[in-house]
Amino acid sequence: MNKWLEKPWVIRVVALLLSVLLFVVVAFDENVDENDDGFENPFGITNKTQALEDVPVQTQIDEEKYVVSGVPETVKVTLQGSVSIVTSTELQRNFDVFVNLEGLEPGTHTVPLEYSGITDRLNVYIEPQEIEVSIEERASQEFNVTIDVVNRDKVEAGFEVANVIADPQTITVTSSKSIVDNIAIIKGFVDVEGFNETQTIENVPIKVYDNEGNELNVRIDPPTVEVTVDMVNPNKQVPISIETTNELPEGLRLNSLETETEEVQVYASEDYLAQLDQIVTKPIDLSEITESGTMEVELDVSSDIRKIGTETVTINVDIESIEEEKLENVAINVVGESEGFTVSYVEPSTESMNLTVRGYPSDLTDFTADDLQLSIDIGGLTPGEHQVPVELTRPQELEESVEIELEYEQVTVNIEQEE
CB burial class (10 A; 0-12, 13-18, 19+) of residue 256? exposed
pLDDT of the residue at 3: 55
Instruction: Tell whether the model's pLDDT for residue 192 goes beyond 50.
Output: yes
* Section 288-295 average pLDDT: 91
Helix axes 8-31, 83-92, angle to 10 degrees: 100
- 345-393 pLDDT tens trace: 888 888 888 989 888 888 888 777 788 888 888 888 888 888 999 998 8
What is the rounded average pLDDT of the residues 162-184?
91
Q: Which residue has the higher pLDDT, 63 or 131?
A: 131
The pLDDT, as a whole number, for residue 122 is 93
Sketch the domain layout of the chain as residue ranges.
47-138, 145-232, 235-321, 323-417
Q: Do domains 145-232 and 235-321 have the same CATH topology?
A: yes
**CATH number of the structural domain 235-321:** 2.170.120.40
CATH topology of domain 47-138: RNA Polymerase Alpha Subunit; Chain A, domain 2 (2.170.120)
Alpha-carbon dihedral of residues 131, 137, 141, 146, nearest 10 degrees?
-20
3-state secondary structure of 308: strand
For residues 80-107, average pLDDT: 91
Q: Say if residue 31's pLDDT is above 70.
A: no
Band the pLDDT of 40: cuts 50, 70, 90.
Answer: very low
Q: Tell me which amino acid residue 260 is.
A: E
Contact 55, 84 (CB under 8 A): no
- Confidence check: pLDDT of 81 > 90: yes
Is the pLDDT confidence value at 396 over 50?
yes
Confidence of residue 6 (pLDDT cuts 50, 70, 90): low
CATH among 3.30.360.10, 2.170.120.30, 2.40.30.30, 3.40.50.300 for 323-417: 2.170.120.30
- The CATH code of the domain at 145-232 is 2.170.120
Residues of the chain above pLDDT 90, percent: 47
Output 209 or 399, whichever has higher pLDDT.
Answer: 209
pLDDT at 44 over 50: no
pLDDT above 90 (res 7): no
What SS3 state is found at 25? helix
pLDDT of residue 39: 38
pLDDT at 213 over 50: yes
> Is the model more confident about 387 or about 401?
387
Q: Residue 312: what pLDDT? A: 94
* Mean local confidence (pLDDT), 55-78: 90
Segment 215-225 shows an average pLDDT of 92
- Report the 10 Å Cβ neighbour count for 349: 9
Res. 22: pLDDT tops 70: no
Q: How confident is the model at residue 32 (pLDDT cuts 50, 70, 90)?
A: very low
How many whole angstroms separate alpha carbon 59 and alpha carbon 241?
Answer: 76
Q: Is the pLDDT score of 280 beyond 60? A: yes
